[in-house]
Amino acid sequence: MEQTLVLVKPDGVQRGLTGEIIGRLERRGLKLVAMKLMQVDDALAHRHYGEHVDRPFFAGLVSFITSGPVVAMAWEANNAVEIVRSTMGATNPANAAPGTIRGDLGVDIGRNLIHGSDSPESAARELALFFKPEEILSYSRSNDGWIVE
């Protein structure tokens, strides 16, 4: 089963939108398999966002993601990466469709509330940065048969 890393970024935690964001992912039918409130330090920020190191917004991105607690989670489903990305909406909330997290709750690309891995390969790399293997749980839900055929 596919798993993906989700972060409620510091703006989401500060604005009291953690529950709203988790609720949307739960209602979609994804299964929560790991979660922790944590402070991202500089080293983790650089590893997590390493692909963007040469971009002009990199310094601001690192300072933002380390500016306060994040809620790190692993979510599981068939096609979890794609399902989370579509629930998040476009990177820039100004272009994100209504009904998406970024399209309903944000206005600025530098304060876009949520991170979700962009491929199964990124998800595996990022999950290993945030969680030990034993922190990602395996369990079944009694209503799984009403969510997946």
Contact yes or no for 70/38 (Cβ under 8 A): yes
Four-point Cα dihedral 28, 68, 126, 122, nearest 10: 70
- Residue 52 annotated in active site: no
Q: Does 32 bind ligand IDP (CB under 6 A)?
A: no
Looking at the DSSP assignment, which residues form a beta bridge with residue 6? 73, 116
Considering only 82, 104, 118, 135, the residue that binds Mg ion (CB under 5 A) is 118
Locus of tokens 């944000």:
106
Considering only 14, 42, 110, 128, the residue that binds ligand IDP (CB under 6 A) is 110
Residue 110 binds: one of ligand IDP, Mg ion, none (C-beta under 5 to 8 A by kind): ligand IDP
Shorter beta-carbon distance to ligand IDP: residue 92 or 135 = 92
CB of 145 to ligand IDP, least distance (A): 32
Q: Which of 46, 48, 52, 115 is catalytic?
A: 115
Nearest to 19 by CA among 71, 65, 68, 64: 71
* Residues with catalytic function: 115
